[in-house]
Amino acid sequence: MDIVFIKELCIETVIGIYDWERKIKQFVCIDLELGTDISNASNSDVIDDTIDYKAVSKTLKSFIGDSEFQLIEALAEESVKLIFEKFNVNYIKGRFSKPGAVTGSKEVGVIIERYRDST
């Protein structure tokens, strides 16, 4: 399996469990590894034969930017489900983090791995 990746995609959204968090937008940053077979694209040199990382990024920016999840876990799971629905991806490893959410740490978050047949 080949990997198409997106690193440090940061999106402003409402995220958090505290009252003050529900009133502001914070950044969620995402690293994705999208598993697929890129051999057709390697031979054709045509974007339709691979995963369009710009289209994936735009889809996530719209979805996450409009969302109001309380937990990063829920945001991560629903984001992965959306990618599976819209793109020809067999595997996703996603790192979803909230920079500066905990004093003294650079970022906190979750890493999830899913296969198409397990969603």
Q: Return the structure tokens found at 109.
A: 């978050």
Spot the catalytic one: 25, 93, 98, 106: 98
Cα 46 to Cα 39, 43, 54: the distances in Å are 11, 8, 14
Which residue from 116, 96, 95 is spatially nearest to 1, judged by alpha carbons?
A: 116
Q: Return the structure tokens found at 1.
A: 């399996």
State yes or no: is 106 an active-site residue.
no
Residues acting as catalytic residues? 98
